[in-house]
Amino acid sequence: MIIGITGTLGAGKGTVVEYLKKKGYKHYSVREFLLKQIRKLGLPENRDSMVMVANDLRKKYSPSYIAEELYKEAEKAGGNCVIESLRAPGEVEALKNKDRFYLLAVDAELKIRFERIKKRNSETDAVNFEEFVENEQREMNSTDPTKPNISRCMTMADFVIDNNGSFDELYAKIDDVLKDIGLGDLVK
């Protein structure tokens, strides 16, 4: 079973991943894949570099290139896996054509999400509120297949989780998704 994760910036995608990892899922991250590429190129480790490198890879190889590379790794490893941070519809379309793939979208209110990214204090999230909103708008609705369109990816999701509450509420929603896809034995 492979679960893909998409969602708005700061919605809690990483928290969903951490919970799934505790349930034995192997983790494959678009962010980490891109950071490796950024380091090879000697670029600054920030959101602009991540977006630029991702767009370049999609242009050079295919709109689904990054997700397909991570899927190959996940398939080779076997077992239950989670691929975090799918942002382009081509990525989602390619993975939806695979066996036993489900897409989970995570969303939350804008101000809650901004507070979360400030707390996680990641270098790629060192932005003020206006920059945060601008970054999200840039990644939400592109018609270019090589660029992010988070909004479209979220409409393609098999499940959407609203993450405005507590960790326990989020975990209960994830458990409900696992039950719905027939993995109720992972719910404890």
User: Would you call 158 helix, strand, or coil by DSSP?
Assistant: coil
185 domain residue, yes or no: no
Model-level pTM? Answer: 0.89
39 domain residue, yes or no: yes
**Cβ(70)–Cβ(50) under 8 Å?**
no
73-129 per-position pLDDT tens digit? 998 998 999 999 999 999 999 999 988 899 999 999 999 999 998 888 766 667 889
| Number of domains making up the chain | 1
96 domain residue, yes or no: yes
15 domain residue, yes or no: yes
Q: What CATH number does residue 67 fall under? A: 3.40.50.300
The torsion of the CA quartet 93, 98, 99, 103, rounded to 10 degrees, works out to -40
Q: Which domain holds residue 44?
A: 2-180
62 domain residue, yes or no: yes
188 domain residue, yes or no: no
User: Would you call 62 helix, strand, or coil by DSSP?
Assistant: coil
Q: What distance in Å separates the CA atoms of residue 144 and residue 129, rounded to the nearest whole number? A: 26
186 domain residue, yes or no: no
